[in-house]
Amino acid sequence: MKIIIDEGEQYDQTEVIIHCKKCDEEVLLLLSKLKLQEQKIIGMQGEVAIVIEPKEIFYFESVDKKTFIYTQSQVYESPLKLYEIERLLKIYGFFRATKSTIVNINKIQSIKPKYNSVLLLEMENGEKLTVSRQYAPILKQRLGGNDYE
């Protein structure tokens, strides 16, 4: 893929034009990644609403019918339900780890399989999360690799 960046004072806003023979999977992936830049999540900290970029989020957790957003060191409350978040951020590297958590794959440091078929995730901030046996195959599939096909 050829990438041309035309920088100039005459441009008021950033514009992306894709020239392609066919709108294939590669182009669609590129589009979804561009859209990721636009996707924002609102997190509440008390009365204050904060705009959070998905790439800053480590995971979402639902506790007592409330949804919490965990970043590197902050916790926010989200007005969204887990199933809404799952649908919204699925294509951006988020996956359902348990019935009450959605994890950002890009923030996982390492994965350790346990003897009871659950996966232990060590996040980049040192937190440890688990992927239940029910959802472990989904993560393996998301990570791809011919080893699971």
Answer for which of 34, 113, 125, 128 binds another protein (CB under 8 A) is 113
The verdict on 93 binding another protein (CB under 8 A) reads: yes
Nearest distance from C-beta of residue 118 to another protein, angstroms: 9
Residue closer to another protein by CB (options 32, 45) is: 32
Region from 38-46, 63-71, 81-89, 136-144 binding another protein, contact rule CB under 8 A: 136-144
The verdict on 82 binding another protein (CB under 8 A) reads: no
* b/e 101-129 (16+ beta carbons within 10 angstroms → b): bbbbeebbeeeeeeeeebbebebeeeeeb
- Which one-letter amino acid corresponds to residue 38? E
Q: Which burial class, exposed, middle or buried, applies to 63 when counting CB atoms under 10 A from its CB (0-12, 13-18, 19+)?
A: exposed
Region from 43-51, 66-74, 83-91, 140-148 binding another protein, contact rule CB under 8 A: 140-148
- Which one-letter amino acid corresponds to residue 107? K
- The answer for residues whose C-beta is within 8 angstroms of residue 122's C-beta and 6 or more apart is 108, 109, 110, 111, 112, 128
Q: What are the residues binding another protein (CB under 8 A)?
A: 93, 105-106, 108, 110-117, 119, 133, 140, 142-145, 147
